[in-house]
Structures are given as structure tokens and as C-alpha cells.
């Protein structure tokens, strides 16, 4: 397994599935830049200080959240992963209070690895599908 692939597999397993917030410090570069993730403040997530509240907010909303890496492709210092996400919205956060509904959606993350850490990430998760399953959209 290539270094970048190992880093992202650990990221999704330890940070998201095991809720190990300390792994964020280990695997995220100090100058981390994220594209496609918006924090509770409405701004794109940049750096550890902004990522951690996003992480806590999402885990609070979906305490049983699970992210499975379905595919991974490595090209030099870049890695692309295709994920499936499942969780039940039983906590506060993600726009409204708990809906107690389950959601299943997919996503992709392209990351640039530098010195064994995630330096930059481009995220594209199907949050519209998640919102529809939770009954949070008009259509």
C-alpha cells in the first residue's frame, strides 16, 4: 500500500470511524487546505483549528457515522478515494435537530500528501442526498 493510500485509509478509519480526534493532529499538515467542506461558521474549512469543529459537529449529528473506503487510486503525492457513508441523524447539528432518520450517501476525496500528512484535500460528498433522506429539502 502506498504512503498516501495508508494515510487516507487511516484518516477515514481512525478519525471518522473511531472518532480519534488526536489522529487529526498526526495526519493533517499544519497548513492544511480543504476544498468542498464548509464548517458551522459557513466558511470553507482551512487548517486544523477549523477542521476540528467541523468534525465534532458532524459526529455529534451522526454518532454512529461510518465511512468505508470503496476504491483508492494513487498517483505520486495524490490519492483519490471513493467512499460510502452511513449514519443515523440522532444528534444536534447539520442544520436542524435530530430527525432520527438514517442516511446513506457517497463521496470522493482527492488529497495531496506531503511529508506523510494530508496537505490539501478536494472533497465532493453527496450532501444533497443526505439532506433529502433526512427530510431537510423541499423536493
Tell whether 118 is covered by a domain.
yes
Residue 1 confidence (pLDDT): 61
Buried b (16+ CB within 10 A) or exposed e, 45-63: beeeebbbebbebbbebbe
For residue 38, the enclosing domain spans 3-133
Q: What is the DSSP letter of 96?
A: B
Distance CA 102, CA 6 (A): 29
Tell me if residue 113 falls in helix, strand or coil.
strand
Q: Is the pLDDT of residue 139 over 80?
A: no
Is the pTM for the entire model greater than 0.75? yes
Residue 42 confidence (pLDDT): 78
Residue 133: which pLDDT band, with cuts at 50, 70 and 90?
very high
User: Residue 37 maps to which CATH number?
Assistant: 3.10.450.50
**Residue 95 backbone class (left: φ over 0; alpha: ψ -120 to 50; beta: rest):** left
Output the CA torsion sign for 128, 131, 137, 139.
Answer: positive
Tell whether 103 is covered by a domain.
yes
Q: What is the pLDDT of residues 29-80, one digit of tens each?
A: 999 999 988 876 778 888 999 899 889 988 999 999 999 999 999 999 999 9
Tell whether 139 is covered by a domain.
no
Total number of domains in the chain:
1
Amino acid at each position: 500500500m502506498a504512503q498516501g493510500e495508508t494515510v487516507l485509509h487511516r484518516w477515514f478509519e481512525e478519525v471518522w470511524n473511531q472518532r480519534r480526534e488526536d489522529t487529526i493532529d498526526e495526519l493533517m499538515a499544519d497548513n492544511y487546505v480543504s476544498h468542498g467542506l464548509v464548517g458551522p461558521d459557513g466558511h470553507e474549512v482551512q487548517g486544523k483549528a477549523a477542521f476540528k469543529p467541523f468534525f465534532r459537529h458532524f459526529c455529534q449529528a451522526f454518532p454512529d457515522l461510518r465511512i468505508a473506503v470503496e476504491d483508492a487510486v494513487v498517483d505520486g503525492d495524490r490519492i483519490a478515494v471513493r467512499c460510502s457513508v452511513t449514519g443515523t441523524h440522532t444528534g444536534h447539528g447539520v442544520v436542524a435537530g435530530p430527525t432520527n432518520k438514517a442516511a446513506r450517501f457517497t463521496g470522493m476525496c482527492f488529497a495531496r500528501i506531503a511529508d506523510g500528512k494530508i496537505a490539501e484535500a478536494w472533497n465532493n460528498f453527496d450532501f444533497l442526498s443526505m439532506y433529502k433522506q433526512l427530510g431537510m429539502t423541499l423536493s
